Amino acid sequence: MGNSLLKYLTFILICLSIFVHSNVNAQREVVISTDCAVDDLRAICELLAVKEIEVKAIVSSDGMLHPKEGRVKILELLNQLNIKNILVGEGVQIHKDTSLHSKFLMSVKWGETLQNDKKSVPADEIIKTVTENSKNLLTIICLGPLTDISAFVKKYPELKKKIKKIIWYNESMQPLSGTNYEFDKEASNYLANSTIPINVVSNLHYKNAVLSIDYFNDLDNINNPYSKIISESHKNEKIVSAINSGYFQLWDDLLPVYCLYPNLFDMEPLINNPTVTITKNYKIEAVKEKIFQILAQTYSLENNIVFDKFPSDSIAFNYDVREIMHTVINKYGNDEWRVCVLTNEIHGHLGTYSIIGAKMGMYARDILKAEIDRIQITSFAGSIPPLSCMNDGLQISTGATLGLGMIEVINDSVPLPAAIFTYKEKKIKLTLKKEVYEQIQKDINDGIVKFGNLTQGYWKLIRVMSLKQWKELDRNKIFEMQEL
């Protein structure tokens, strides 16, 4: 009774926790707009450290530094990191006077001093080039005033549709206030009414958003070029003094984390303008943890429910599973690996048909481009093992569980390794290829003849056979597909 209860609870926990969405590692194409304050440097380094974010361009805006000065800082940073494929644009200067912090900010080291500076290109032209050449919608991450984004939209209104959203740091939207807003109120008001979705991330003045000297000392211990740039730049005498005084906080640092982990932030649309959403709260310690993970390259973008990150250390797996782990991941991807691991754990043993079901469900989602928990399944695998074991893999790989009422098992016909998958207006039938099915049946029957049914020797053979088929059966090649 105890073992049955434990197995049931394990099943429920994992079913609730690990239905992973497809394409979690898809590239996010972004353009960064910055006025080159110190927190901008931190935020840009964090964005550059994420391999799933493709920074297409960085443009300097007129705020803490004039655009001409900011452009130099951006180029120095990219030069330090030896990055050559990011376009750099110079924004419009709208303020005659320099900011009070200009001299100090110019003393902050972003990278190696430039020897040969190329001719500058206007920011709106850079954004135009990126939007025209990109096949995907762009996210614009704005760390300063909205001047150059506004100028781009006004000049090229037909390209507005290429902007997925703007993520902007500003202190307050109710009422409208904050340094970035004050630098260019007109641009902010214009974009707020442009129908482009704007996510406004704010600090909200939490005491534990302060960044202590210990925070930067911990960053110094990360052996990474991005964290090293942040660490070295923050050894500036004036910055150290500001840190010790408790002045430095999570400001623009919030935006990279929001970009990757929006669920850590409570956002709310403005009642009178629902295209604009604003921060109401966020999990500060979680944000700090994510920043360290990003800079240390230990972050995960898995869209799990309970686990932050699925176990990736091979030592966590049994030795025989460990032996195939890297081959399987390299051949079929992390998503299929996770689904098959969970299927086998829930199923209670390594089984061929449960793995077949997992691979079939993954293949159906690939074809239908379906999200988790959205596919309706009719399974023809019946309710008699071993073929019925396929149903466990189907549920785990698609989220179409018995509990959700999204899978039906047909029992009034001859069982077959086949299932119908329905998603929106599409319906397909997948059937395990005859030659694969016959080989599996032969291997199982040979095992029964040799060891007897359900004996210790039988289960050992099934495990060895399942590991082999897990590694060798490609979900893209073992099923017949019929459109219904």
Global model pTM greater than 0.75: no
- Please name the residue that has the structure tokens 């709310």: 268
Would you say residue 268 lies in a domain? yes
- 328-340 pLDDT, tens digit per residue, is 999 999 899 999 9
Q: What is the pLDDT of residue 3?
A: 47
- Residue 260, both tokens: 């990757």
Q: What is the pLDDT of residue 243?
A: 94
Q: What is the pLDDT of residue 300?
A: 84
Mean pLDDT, rounded, for 85-90: 96
148/284 same-domain check? yes
- 121-149 pLDDT, tens digit per residue, is 999 999 999 999 998 999 999 999 999 99
Mean pLDDT, rounded, for 186-199: 95
387/286 same-domain check? no
CATH number at residue 33: 3.90.245.10
**Please, are residues 89 and 126 in contact by the beta-carbon 8 Å criterion?**
yes
Question: Does residue 286 surpass a pLDDT of 50?
Answer: yes
99/374: higher pLDDT: 374
Q: What does R_g of the chain's alpha carbons equal in angstroms?
A: 27
Which of 232, 238, 237 minimizes the C-alpha distance to 217?
232
Which of 271, 296, 321 delimits the end of a domain? 296
The two most distant CA atoms of the chain are separated, in Å, by 90
Mean pLDDT, rounded, for 67-92: 95
Would you say residue 22 lies in a domain? no
Preceding omega of 67 cis (within 30 degrees of 0): no
**Looking at 197-201, 297-301, 437-441, 470-474, which range is the least confident one?**
297-301
Would you say residue 17 lies in a domain? no
251/391 same-domain check? no
Which of 356, 353, 379, 360 minimizes the C-alpha distance to 481?
360
Question: Does residue 308 surpass a pLDDT of 50?
Answer: yes
Mean pLDDT, rounded, for 393-401: 93
Question: Does residue 177 surpass a pLDDT of 80?
Answer: yes
Preceding omega of 225 cis (within 30 degrees of 0): no
Which of 351, 343, 337 minimizes the C-alpha distance to 302?
337
Would you say residue 42 lies in a domain? yes
**Looking at 46-55, 60-69, 297-306, 364-373, which range is the least confident one?**
297-306
- Please name the residue that has the structure tokens 């800079």: 295
249/324 same-domain check? no
Would you say residue 332 lies in a domain? yes
290/323 same-domain check? no
Question: Does residue 219 surpass a pLDDT of 70?
Answer: yes
284/395 same-domain check? no
- pLDDT band at 118; cut points 50, 70, 90: confident
Give the structural domain span for 460: 310-483
Q: What is the pLDDT of residue 312?
A: 80
246/367 same-domain check? no
Percent of the chain with pLDDT over 70: 93
Mean pLDDT, rounded, for 242-254: 94
178/320 same-domain check? no
Q: What is the pLDDT of residue 89?
A: 97
Which of 245, 272, 296 delimits the end of a domain? 296
225/84 same-domain check? yes
Mean pLDDT, rounded, for 6-18: 44
Mean pLDDT, rounded, for 183-197: 95
Strands 479-483 and 426-432: antiparallel
The whole-angstrom separation of Cα 142 and Cα 41 is 13
155/44 same-domain check? yes
Would you say residue 18 lies in a domain? no
- 237-247 pLDDT, tens digit per residue, is 999 999 999 99
Q: What is the pLDDT of residue 458?
A: 86
Q: What is the pLDDT of residue 114?
A: 77
CATH number at residue 469: 3.30.1330.130
Would you say residue 424 lies in a domain? yes
Would you say residue 417 lies in a domain? yes
Distance, C-alpha 52 to centroid of its chain:
7
- Please name the residue that has the structure tokens 């912090």: 101
175/235 same-domain check? yes
319/255 same-domain check? no
- What's the number of domains the chain is made of? 2
Which of 228, 263, 296 delimits the end of a domain? 296
Q: What is the pLDDT of residue 301?
A: 84
